[in-house]
Amino acid sequence: MKKVWQNKLLKGSFAMILLSVMDIAFSEVNAKSFSVQNSPHLPSANIIQFEDGRDYFSYQEPIVQAKRNDRKIPIQFFFDYDCRVCSSAQDILQLYSQIRPNKLIFKEYPVATNEDKFSAIIFYTLQRLNASELSDALLFETSEKARYTELSSLDKMSEWAALQGINQSEFDEVASSIGVKEDVSNAIDLTEEYGVFTFPYVVVDGKYVLTASTLYNDDYSVAVLDFLVNKIEQERKQ
């Protein structure tokens, strides 16, 4: 997968141009169609409702979610370690899930394709080593491009993991295990199913999508998320 995401959060019509370019650059992933194609931007204080295509996007065909007995709304966060803004987006989403613990279930997934499996290998290796918290630390650390470049090989990541207290031999063994290979294969399927063409890429209840054009401001992001959660709750009552 080509990494085309820039270290600058964009707004207005140029953001939509960039999203179109990303759609082409990530051509190996079948990006889903969205219902409208307007430009997202930070709304003024007098706007009461957020709009599809401006503040968020909708799948033309929602992705069916497994039914939950607790009726919590899933928020799925797709990320890559080679991402300048994924760590800050993660902070916002984790904060929001803590604000609404009775309404939401927050899950994280590495973006993966047949051509680029690195983030998925690292993420699932850390999970299988019961060191998921190190994924957050790594996401923050690699928000600087130079640092990601330094760590963008399994050998370097193995050395990094050892510095975090993980047995290096164990890390290497798990990273090449059948279990991690199966995890990565599932991540590739999920990336394609959801049409992920950029990162961060956030899916709410399989219907609505947020990208970096929304996930750059705490108050704005939380307000949009609240709007979507309330919208979904109303839709479920119909």
Cα(232)–Cα(203) distance, integer angstroms: 13
Q: Which domain holds residue 154?
A: 70-228
- Which region holds residue 32: left if phi is over 0, alpha if psi is between -120 and 50, else beta? beta
CATH code at 212?
3.40.30.10
DSSP-assigned states of every residue in 70-85: T-PEEEEEEE-SS-SS
Does residue 187 fall inside a structural domain?
yes
Does residue 85 fall inside a structural domain?
yes
| Count of domains for the chain | 1
Does residue 41 fall inside a structural domain?
no
- Residue in the block written with tokens 């997934």: 109
Does residue 184 fall inside a structural domain?
yes
Global pTM reads 0.82
- In angstroms, how far is the first alpha carbon of the chain from the final one? 40
Does residue 12 fall inside a structural domain?
no
φ, ψ dihedrals at 54, nearest 5°: -115, -50
pLDDT tens across the length of the chain (238 residues): 433 333 223 333 334 444 444 443 443 334 455 444 443 444 444 445 899 999 999 999 999 999 999 999 999 999 999 999 999 999 999 999 999 999 999 999 999 999 999 999 999 999 999 999 999 999 999 999 999 999 999 999 999 999 999 999 999 999 999 999 999 999 999 999 999 999 999 999 999 999 999 999 999 999 999 999 999 999 999 8
